[in-house]
Chains A and B, each alone.
Chain A
Amino acid sequence: MLLIDALQFLAQALYVVLFGVTLGQLLRHPSRATLEIALFFGTAAAVVALALLGAVLRVSQAPLFTAVSASLLMGLPYLLLRLAATFSELRLIYVRAAEVGLTLVVVSLFVVPPPYPLWMLLALVLYFVVVAVGASLSFVFQGSRSSGVTRRRLQCVAWGSGLLGLDILVAGLGATMPAFVEFWTVVGALCGLGSGVLYFVGFAPPLWLRRTWQEPALRAFVARSAQLVREPDIVQAIRDLEDRTAAAMGAASTIGQWIEPEGVLRFYVRNPNLHPRDDPADSGYALHADLGVFDLEPGNMIAGRAFAQQRPIFSSDSARDDPRYAEYYRSTGSLAAMAAPISAGAHRFGVLTVYAARAPVFADSDLELVQLMADQAAVVLQSRALIEDTTQSRARQEAARLKDEFLASISHDLRNPLTAVRGVTQVLERRIERDGTVERDRLASALSNIRGATNQMASLIDQLLDYARMQGDRPLELTLSSTDLVELTRRTVDSYAASSERHRIQFEAGVERMVGEYDAARLERVVQNLVGNAVKYSPDGGVVVVRTMTERSQGKLWGLISVEDHGMGIPEADVPLIFDRFHRAANAAGVPGSGLGLSASRQVVEQHGGTISVQSEVGRGSTFVVRLPMACQAGGA
């Protein structure tokens, strides 16, 4: 008997203590959830108090007293179901049904005088068990959908509710089978104690237990974050941190990255549709759905405040604490929110937020954990920033090296044609000095040598100009004038046709004129570059075909210049990169070149609003096509 008394006393004491704890929570964070939790344990404590009072005043058998304390007891599963509805997406109809049941129960308790008939006892037990199990299932379901500490807490509440139902079932069984009354009492007391402990753990877990539960998630978070330092994509790294935080907290998580030059906290939005569309100008935030980012000014919303004040903030009802954005919090399901600044020393990297549509998921002490994870995130982001700095300075060094190399190679290459020109002219001078004249054939070949050398120099100087222009990726200042592309192309082709003996350069004009506003000098260099490449990369000679034609597409008229060679071609892997600066095809190693011509050409063409493309096959040759927008006065046919 002593054991049973002790068990019962413990269970009762636990419910009274829990009432005290939850009352404290209610006073510190008044919200619907804390109110309902306190109400549940208040009712449980009242049942305990009434039982004690009844025993002391010896009125336990009084009908009114029995009706009141039984009604309170019967109200417990209903309150539990309401709690379940607060925690999860429980359909309202179940709550309404429980309310109808409770009304019937209470009415019958006051109308039927005790001792109650068996059928009524059975009905009461049935009502209690069904509602308690229903609430329990709802918590189980909600628990299975969450993770981390929240999941464990909800599981405890679910088991506690199950045990509470069992307690009453046992009491009912005890009433119908009085032969084993002691056994039933022990089982009932155990169930009561068990549910009390589980409720305590679920609704108000002590800090050490919370820490124990959090540890695996926190470990996973730290382990993963170490790898994130090397994740090449910053957005991916941030998303991963968010996922890890969400898993550890059992709630949604977002990170706002501090973009200092723009003065905003930038959140990388996964589903822009979840955010309210209309953001008024003075809202303090802006959603750029097309970019998938949400920019928030510091000081606004819970996240912006935590960042501006550099301290963690917890709001169990953000709509109430920050009414300006109440509608936003409601529509995004962030009525409960925690935010902690991600900072390392004086360096501010952003803000970590954890939020849920329902407040009771969080407790005060979770805020410490969020700050801990924010600090870890700061370590990750700071390491990344350092690595990025190093990479950038290395890239600058590499660019400087390429520049030096390029300039050295150009000045080296300029010396050869200069040597030829100087040598040939001095040979001619010496002959004139010696013989008074130079024979016709020698003069002709000397002039051809000089022209070849000067062409070489001109092309090197063009490369130098292209390079100088591309330093710093400055856009070109186009000098537009009315230009005929057909005439421009013909001129370029003619100048090349004379200088190459082994190549035949053929020009086919599809239309008489292709007039538009173009930068003639620059486009001429583009055509020169393409024809020059066609010759250069056809070491065995052959026909180069240059065509001009017009094309109508996308409702616009385009002027096309194509250059087709039958040379070495471009390997498939190099084709997509062939217009990149310094990129040269794998098979171009034996052919002199800077890797700049095509990238400069692309820049010129694109700044005209046009495109440049290539089709190529190794061993069969390449065809480059320049498409330039035209005014609609294409002449000829």
Chain B
Amino acid sequence: VSIVLVVDDDANVREAIQWALEDEGFEVETAADGLQAIQRGVARRPDLVLLDLTLPVLDGYRVASDLRAAHGTNLPILAMTADGQAQAKAMRAGAYAFVRKPFELGRLLEIIRQGLDG
């Protein structure tokens, strides 16, 4: 079973993604801010991180670099953004791909699978 760490400060968004991934058979960890994400992500290595880049306490870039420092650069990170320069931001965070909110569930799952396979 693949473990996915879902990091988003909006509780409704976290919940929706959690349900969707659990229905697909993933094990889901959640974090509501950057600090929580680093704590949980370092304590237990996820197979993939679904990371919103705009976070309270510590931002998504910091989370990405800390988790990579802990688990190596091959940890797949999928960036989520709600604003304009999604691609540039995702590249900055070192993500393998990005999704823009609001996204189609099917598309999200497809990208997650690519990340896990690849």
Chain A residues with a Cβ under 8 A of chain B: 408, 411-413, 415-424, 426-427, 430-431, 442, 445-446, 449, 452-453, 456, 590
Contact yes or no, B15 A420, CB < 8 A:
yes
CB distance from A371 to the nearest CB of B (A): 60
By a CB distance below 8 angstroms, the chain A residues around B54 are 412
Interface centre among B12, B56, B82, B100 (most CB of A within 10 A): B12
Contact yes or no, B16 A420, CB < 8 A:
yes
Contact yes or no, B12 A430, CB < 8 A:
no
User: Could you say which of B12, B20, B82 contacts A427, with CB atoms under 8 Å apart?
Assistant: B20
Inter-chain CA distance A249–B60, complex, in Å, is: 70
Chain B residues with a Cβ under 8 A of chain A: 8, 10-13, 15-17, 19-20, 23, 54, 56, 82-83, 100-106
Contacts known (A412-B83, A416-B13, A420-B13); A426 close to B20, Cβ less than 8 A: yes
- Nearest-CB residue, chain A, relative to B57: A590
Contact yes or no, A427 B23, CB < 8 A:
yes
- Nearest-CB residue, chain B, relative to A453: B12
Contact yes or no, B16 A449, CB < 8 A:
yes
Inter-chain CA distance A452–B13, complex, in Å, is: 11
User: Could you say which of A416, A418, A423, A449 contacts B105, with CB atoms under 8 Å apart?
Assistant: A423
Interface centre among A416, A422, A426 (most CB of B within 10 A): A416
Contact yes or no, B104 A426, CB < 8 A:
yes
Contacts known (A417-B12, A423-B16, A426-B20); A590 close to B56, Cβ less than 8 A: yes
CB distance from A405 to the nearest CB of B (A): 12
Contact yes or no, B12 A416, CB < 8 A:
yes
Contact yes or no, B56 A419, CB < 8 A:
no
By a CB distance below 8 angstroms, the chain B residues around A452 are 11-12
Contact yes or no, A456 B82, CB < 8 A:
no
CB distance from B108 to the nearest CB of A (A): 8
By a CB distance below 8 angstroms, the chain A residues around B20 are 423, 426-427, 430
Contact yes or no, B105 A431, CB < 8 A:
no
By a CB distance below 8 angstroms, the chain B residues around A431 are 23
Inter-chain CA distance A445–B12, complex, in Å, is: 10
Inter-chain CA distance A590–B33, complex, in Å, is: 12
Inter-chain CA distance A419–B20, complex, in Å, is: 12
CB distance from B100 to the nearest CB of A (A): 8
CB distance from B78 to the nearest CB of A (A): 14
- Nearest-CB residue, chain A, relative to B24: A430
Contact yes or no, B12 A415, CB < 8 A:
no
- Nearest-CB residue, chain A, relative to B17: A423
Contact yes or no, A419 B23, CB < 8 A:
no
By a CB distance below 8 angstroms, the chain A residues around B10 are 416-417, 419-420
- Nearest-CB residue, chain B, relative to A446: B19
Inter-chain CA distance A422–B12, complex, in Å, is: 11
User: Could you say which of B11, B15, B82, B106 contacts A412, with CB atoms under 8 Å apart?
Assistant: B82
Inter-chain CA distance A424–B21, complex, in Å, is: 11
CB distance from A409 to the nearest CB of B (A): 9
CB distance from B8 to the nearest CB of A (A): 8
Contact yes or no, B82 A415, CB < 8 A:
yes
Contact yes or no, A419 B83, CB < 8 A:
no
Contact yes or no, A423 B83, CB < 8 A:
no
By a CB distance below 8 angstroms, the chain B residues around A424 are 12, 15-16, 19
The 4 closest A-B pairs by CB, nearest first: A423-B16, A420-B12, A415-B82, A426-B105
Q: List 28 A-B contacts (CB under 8 A).
A: A411-B83, A413-B82, A415-B82, A415-B101, A415-B102, A416-B8, A416-B82, A417-B12, A419-B10, A419-B82, A419-B101, A419-B103, A421-B102, A422-B16, A422-B103, A423-B16, A423-B17, A423-B19, A424-B19, A426-B20, A426-B104, A426-B106, A427-B19, A427-B20, A427-B105, A430-B20, A452-B11, A590-B56
Inter-chain CA distance A417–B11, complex, in Å, is: 10
CB distance from A413 to the nearest CB of B (A): 8
User: Could you say which of A423, A427, A430, A446 contacts B13, with CB atoms under 8 Å apart?
Assistant: A423
Contact yes or no, A449 B101, CB < 8 A:
no
By a CB distance below 8 angstroms, the chain B residues around A416 are 8, 10, 12-13, 82, 101
Inter-chain CA distance A422–B56, complex, in Å, is: 24
Inter-chain CA distance A453–B15, complex, in Å, is: 11
Contact yes or no, B105 A430, CB < 8 A:
yes
CB distance from A312 to the nearest CB of B (A): 62
Inter-chain CA distance A23–B87, complex, in Å, is: 93
For the A-B complex with A430-B105, A452-B11, A452-B12 known, give 20 more contacts whose Cβ atoms are closer than 8 Å: A408-B83, A411-B83, A412-B54, A415-B100, A415-B102, A416-B12, A416-B101, A417-B10, A419-B10, A419-B13, A423-B16, A423-B19, A424-B12, A424-B16, A426-B105, A427-B16, A427-B20, A427-B23, A430-B23, A449-B16
By a CB distance below 8 angstroms, the chain B residues around A590 are 56
- Nearest-CB residue, chain A, relative to B10: A416
Inter-chain CA distance A525–B16, complex, in Å, is: 29
CB distance from A416 to the nearest CB of B (A): 4
- Nearest-CB residue, chain A, relative to B15: A449
Contact yes or no, B12 A456, CB < 8 A:
yes
Interface centre among A411, A427, A431, A453 (most CB of B within 10 A): A427
User: Could you say which of A408, A418, A446 contacts B102, with CB atoms under 8 Å apart?
Assistant: A418
Interface centre among A412, A442, A590 (most CB of B within 10 A): A412
Contacts known (A408-B83, A412-B82, A426-B20); A418 close to B12, Cβ less than 8 A: no
Inter-chain CA distance A453–B83, complex, in Å, is: 18
Inter-chain CA distance A422–B106, complex, in Å, is: 11
Inter-chain CA distance A421–B82, complex, in Å, is: 15
Contacts known (A412-B82, A427-B19, A453-B12); A419 close to B102, Cβ less than 8 A: yes
By a CB distance below 8 angstroms, the chain A residues around B19 are 423-424, 427, 442, 446
By a CB distance below 8 angstroms, the chain A residues around B11 are 452
Inter-chain CA distance A431–B23, complex, in Å, is: 8
Inter-chain CA distance A442–B23, complex, in Å, is: 12
By a CB distance below 8 angstroms, the chain B residues around A412 are 54, 82-83
Inter-chain CA distance A426–B100, complex, in Å, is: 16
- Nearest-CB residue, chain B, relative to A434: B23
